[in-house]
């Protein structure tokens, strides 16, 4: 069944989003003609999009096939280390620059996401929107660009840390603390709480991967 495609969406964005939401998981093979049929575009833009994703290391070769890449332990540790620093900086800048309206949106997100506690996949999508809002509230376009690239690589993780027992509730508590720091313009607290949030998510993911 073909998906509806809006004129503004290109093949690259469509494939990237499909990976991000888990339609294609690490190890899945991507086939040009199947993608062209799914998204209702010709094979040429699909081929170009696949080449771009391979260049960005989001896809890798398995013989002659392209598959969604996966992250080994070291790569995941490196990714979380960089993420903690950049996300922390975004929270610090958000505490400095966020408008009243942006803080209201963050507060509403925290309150609305409480209804998703028992739905890890929906909460994972809401979590991405929450972090994206903090990025935008930093009012630093270069930081936002780097965080966008970083979060593309986050899509290579097969599961969400929010699936771990009890993690959803704790994550929302951490989100609430981050927003309170931003609301009170406490830059250090916003940075520290965001970095701690990422660290706890990493610990949870390590436990999930090790079967603990």
CATH (domain of 63): 1.10.10.10
Domain count, the chain: 2
Q: At residue 212, does pLDDT exceed 60?
A: no
Q: Are residues 53 and 80 in the same domain?
A: no
Q: Of the residues 48, 68, 88, which one is the last residue of a structural domain?
A: 68
Q: Of the residues 21, 43, 68, which one is the last residue of a structural domain?
A: 68
Q: Is residue 45 part of a domain?
A: yes
Q: At residue 85, does pLDDT exceed 70?
A: yes
pLDDT at 5: 43
Q: Are residues 112 and 139 in the same domain?
A: yes
Q: Are residues 78 and 35 in the same domain?
A: no
Q: Are residues 113 and 178 in the same domain?
A: yes
Q: Is residue 4 part of a domain?
A: no
Q: At residue 18, does pLDDT exceed 90?
A: no
Q: Are residues 63 and 78 in the same domain?
A: no
Burial class of residue 55 in the structure, from the number of CB atoms within 10 Å of its CB (0-12 exposed, 13-18 middle, 19+ buried):
exposed
Rounded to whole angstroms, how far apart are CA atoms 89 and 146? Answer: 12
Q: Is residue 127 part of a domain?
A: yes
Cα dihedral 86, 99, 128, 208, rounded to 10, equals: 60
Q: Is residue 178 part of a domain?
A: yes
Q: Are residues 162 and 58 in the same domain?
A: no
CB atoms within 10 A of CB 82: 15
**Residue 123 lies in domain:** 73-210
Which range, of 95-99, 114-118, 165-169, 202-206, averages the lowest pLDDT? 165-169
Q: Is residue 194 part of a domain?
A: yes
pLDDT at 206: 84
Q: Are residues 202 and 177 in the same domain?
A: yes
Q: Are residues 45 and 18 in the same domain?
A: yes
Token pair for residue 1? Answer: 């069944």
Radius of gyration of the chain (CA): 18
Q: Is residue 174 part of a domain?
A: yes
Q: Are residues 133 and 29 in the same domain?
A: no
Q: Is residue 1 part of a domain?
A: no
Token pair for residue 126? Answer: 């809401």
Q: Are residues 62 and 116 in the same domain?
A: no
Return the CATH number at 105.
1.20.120.530
Q: Are residues 111 and 44 in the same domain?
A: no
Q: Of the residues 31, 53, 68, which one is the last residue of a structural domain?
A: 68
Q: At residue 8, does pLDDT exceed 70?
A: no
Q: Are residues 118 and 199 in the same domain?
A: yes
Q: At residue 4, does pLDDT exceed 60?
A: no
């Amino acid at each position: 069944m073909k998906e509806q495609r809006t004129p503004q969406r290109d093949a690259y964005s469509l494939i990237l989003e499909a990976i991000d939401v888990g339609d294609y998981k690490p190890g899945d093979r991507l086939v040009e003609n199947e993608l062209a049929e799914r998204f209702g575009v010709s094979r040429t833009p699909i081929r170009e999009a696949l080449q771009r994703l391979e260049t960005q290391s989001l896809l890798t070769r398995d013989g002659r096939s392209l598959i969604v890449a996966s992250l080994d332990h070291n790569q995941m540790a490196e990714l979380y280390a960089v993420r903690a620093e950049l996300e922390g900086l975004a929270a610090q800048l958000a505490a400095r620059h966020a408008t009243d309206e942006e803080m209201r949106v963050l507060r509403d997100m925290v309150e609305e996401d409480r209804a998703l506690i028992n739905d890890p996949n929906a909460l994972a999508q809401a979590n991405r929107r929450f972090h994206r809002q903090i990025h935008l509230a930093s009012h630093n376009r270069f930081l936002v660009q780097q965080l966008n690239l970083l979060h593309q690589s986050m899509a290579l993780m097969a599961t969400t840390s929010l699936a771990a027992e009890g993690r959803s509730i704790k994550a929302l508590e951490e989100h609430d603390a981050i927003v309170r720091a931003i609301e009170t313009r406490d830059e250090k607290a916003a940075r520290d709480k965001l970095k701690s949030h990422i660290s706890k998510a990493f610990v949870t993911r390590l436990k999930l991967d090790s079967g603990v």
